Amino acid sequence: MTRGPDNATPQTPDARPSRGPDRRKSVVDQRFTGLERRRGVGRRLSDFNKAAEEGNLTSEQFLFLMAIENFKKANGKLYPSWTDVLEVVRLLGYRKTMPMELTLTSAEDWREPADAPSNVRTQKQLERDAQARREAA
């Protein structure tokens, strides 16, 4: 038995507030997802990652970096959420047109036409963007 934060109330290990299953007890084997990035003996970085880590960004990497930086400035966010990142990716023109190269058991694969709209802007935002383009021309 341990004492609580005020050192007066005894607490048993089962007395902690329940927040769902303890994730520390779950085991996920990521070796089969294609997402494992740790390097061990005999594992090397891909040229794509090595060049970026050395500061030699490809034009695609640089474009993405600049788009994220502009998004952060425009929205006053230091750390964009994953939804924000996906919004930027779709606004850059990326679409899900190929089958995935990962093995994910918890998500279903899908595809869309290459010319599909991004569907991340509201109608009001689209109208404002069109007005800004007209004024710039």
pLDDT at 65: 93
Per this entry, what is the length of the chain? 137
Q: How far apart are CA 131 and CA 133, in angstroms?
A: 5
User: Could you tell me the residue ranges of all domains in the chain?
Assistant: 47-100+108-136
Question: In angstroms, how far is CA 35 from the centroid of its own chain?
Answer: 13
pLDDT at 20: 62
Q: How far apart are CA 64 and CA 57, in angstroms?
A: 10
pLDDT at 74: 93
Query: pTM, whole model, 2 decimals?
Result: 0.59
Give the residue-averaged pLDDT of 120-124. 89
More confident: 29 or 137: 137
E strands present in the chain:
2-3, 10-11
- Residue range 20-48, pLDDT digits in tens: 666 566 555 555 556 565 655 656 667 76
- Residue range 53-111, pLDDT digits in tens: 667 788 998 999 999 999 999 999 999 999 999 999 999 999 999 999 999 999 999 99
Sorted by sequence, the CB contacts under 8 Å of residue 34 that are 6+ apart come out as 101, 102, 103
